[in-house]
Amino acid sequence: MLSRISVVVAACFLAACQSQDATEVDPPVVEGEVNPALERQTEEFERKVYTVTDGVYQAVGFGVANSILVEGDECVFIVDVMGSMESATAVKAEFDKITQKPVKALIYTHNHADHVMGGLGFVPDGEVDVYAHETTNYYINRVANVLRPVLNLRSTRMFGNYLPRQGPDRMENVGLGPLVETLDRDMTIGLIRPNKTFADTLDTEICGVKVQLVHAPGETNDQIFVWLPERDVLMPGDNIYKAFPNLYTIRGTLYRDVLAWARSIDKMRALRPAHLAPSHTRPISGREEVGEILTAYRDAIQFVHDQTIRGINQGLTPDELVEVVKLPPHLAEHPFLQEFYGTVEWSVRSVFSGYLGWFDGDAATLEPVNPDERAAGIASLAGGAEGLLRAASEALDQERYRWAAELATHLIRLNPSSTAAKRIKADALRALGRRHINANARNYYLTQALELEGEVEIHDDTKPENALSFVGTVPIGKFVAAMPANLIYEKSADKNIVAGFRFPDVDEGYGIHVRRGVAEFIDHFPDDPDITITTNSNVWRELVLGLRNPVTTFTSGDIQFAGSALDLVAFLRLFKPAID
């Protein structure tokens, strides 16, 4: 068997290490300034409506995503509807200058909020055909899932919502869109749900325009592309944009099937489109140029996948793989593959965990020492906490920022109130963020630096009316089904209670059985419950979302219950933070 070192060398030789030097484009970064390449990317998002071809117009820069207008004889349809009412209304005003024909249909390329939340801005009464993949509704509902707190925290860091607008640590852009909208906490949403869905392919005609919708899993599982054969226009949704694809997103996501993504692009290549109108960044025209971009994009994705698998089979761990899997020069230098949004490194790690899960294969990491023991051990090697602080400070001075951040993290674990340690970690993260070409990394580093300094405290500042207008459309059963993951084990360890929920307005019933630290969801009204709660489904939603005071809700009679009031209160107190 090859030794570890020779495995790395062999993988390096066989994979793409010959390209390593050529690919490490180090843009001239000036201390205290935004990475100039990322700054240039902002120009990509200049607010403008492009004419893709006759009767197809693409609005760029009005929000994070684009919106595309397709004009037919008597009416128009819109592909992707922006992420808020405000941005949708601004786009609609521009589209109205082109044509006043009525909006007959909306098409959603996938479920992400920046593409679907502005529907009512285009069609105020909501009466419209909305085309999407058959799973898009399901994925929209998932946003209301039990992971909302952590996804909110990580998304907020990644999109830089709390970063200043000016200065070297400003929020420059989000990699594939401008800073507007993501920073706008006062935005309102106007979601219209899909009502014309399909599984694989849908051939139809809208406003006299032939339209083919094709399921194309990639950035999301519900992704579709839109093909207008008569106009030679392909709308790839988020499976193509002018940045390295986000094969993994650092806000946290299920594994994105990268090979399926490459195959989806192959379906697009087969159409040989003359125009590419993506849902982020600008349109591209020219059959040759579009073909070349599609090919480079799918090749980059497959390259990362294949070379990661190869390294995995040679025994490499994720930390080793990211050192050896580097794009070949022709891809690394391609304008559509610059790491403004996704990165090769995160993708490699994601492919590893997507196939093998968390264990890297080395028994030394199978049951690792706990973080406290590790921190104490590292400190002791450094001659105590003082020595470790000195080492972290030296690393910072030597511009070894990742190492400085790691050492400072151990120090903070040993002493969570250590200002000196937090200072070093914040400085290290800020230095990493300022230099980064990747907007997500930059925003994340800079935000966490501010958090360490106590300058920023991230909280869920979703406006109640937004929460209701969106989450209010999520089926009520999902709310009850989300309760188990909010169960406080310590309070429920000796409990055995069955609660039944009746929602007469939608004629649905559910149950929760709390059984010694576990809450089992029952998808129907349970037999012989200890407590029965009867209420309107919207009242329950508002209660769960914190828009109603529980005490006044109960005393006002909006919720009826059978059983003991004490039992009821005791039951609800078992859950946090949804119900308190």
Nearest distance from C-beta of residue 151 to Zn ion, angstroms: 16
Residue 230, both tokens: 């008569």
Of 295, 309, 307, 227, the closest CA to residue 262 belongs to 295
CB of 116 to Zn ion, least distance (A): 10
* The two structure tokens encoding residue 564: 């003991």
Residue closer to Zn ion (CB basis): 112 or 275: 112
Nearer of residues 114 and 427 to Zn ion, judged by Cβ: 114
Report yes or no: 372 and 334 within 8 Å, Cβ to Cβ: no
Give how far the C-alpha of residue 58 lies from the chain's centroid of Cα atoms, to the nearest Å: 23
User: How many CB atoms lie under 10 A from the CB of residue 505?
Assistant: 12
Q: Which of residues 65 and 456 has its CB atom nearest to Zn ion in the complex? A: 65
Stretch that binds Zn ion, among 62-70, 246-254, 304-312, 436-444 (CB under 5 A): 62-70
| Shortest distance in whole angstroms from residue 238 CB to Zn ion | 4
What is the x/- site pattern for Zn ion, positions 22-61, by CB under 5 A? Answer: ----------------------------------------
Contact 216, 225 (CB under 8 A): yes
CB of 216 to Zn ion, least distance (A): 14
90/431 with CB nearer Zn ion: 90
Q: Least Å distance between CB 115 and Zn ion? A: 6
Q: Give the C-alpha separation, 312 to 514, whole Å.
A: 43
Give the C-alpha separation, 93 to 86, whole Å. 11
Contact region for Zn ion (CB under 5 A) — 64-72, 127-135, 541-549, 569-577? 64-72
Torsion of CA 435, 441, 447, 453, to 10 degrees: -60
Task: Kindly state the smallest distance separating residue 19's Cβ from Zn ion, in Å.
Answer: 30
Between 177 and 500, name the residue whose CB sits nearer to Zn ion.
Answer: 177
b or e along 346-361 (b: 16 or more beta carbons within 10 Å of the residue's beta carbon)? bbbbbbbebeeeeebe
Q: How far is the CB of 237 from Zn ion (least distance, A)?
A: 8
Please, which residue, 140 or 533, has the CB nearer to Zn ion?
Answer: 140
Name the residue nearer to Zn ion (CB basis): 112 or 231: 112
Is residue 235 within 8 A of residue 226, CB to CB? The reply is: yes
Separation between Cα atoms, residue 91 and residue 86, nearest integer Å: 9
Residue whose Cβ sits closest to Zn ion: 238
Minimum CB separation of residue 64 from Zn ion in Å reads 7
Size of the site for Zn ion (CB under 5 A): 4
Cβ atoms of 177 and 464 within 8 Å: the answer is no
Spatial distance between the Cα atoms of 225 and 278, rounded to a whole number of angstroms: 9
193 in Cβ contact with 473 (< 8 Å):
yes
User: Which of 238, 320, 427, 530: binder of Zn ion (CB under 5 A)?
Assistant: 238
Site for Zn ion in 263-302 (CB under 5 A): none
Which residues 84-113 are close enough to bind Zn ion by CB under 5 A? 112
Name residues contacting Zn ion, limited to 111-140 (CB under 5 A).
Answer: 112, 114
Q: Is 65 in the site for Zn ion (CB under 5 A)?
A: yes
Give whichever of 112 and 410 is closer to Zn ion, judged by the CB atom.
112
H-helix segments, 212-317: 258-270, 287-313
Binding residues for Zn ion, rule: CB under 5 A, are 65, 112, 114, 238
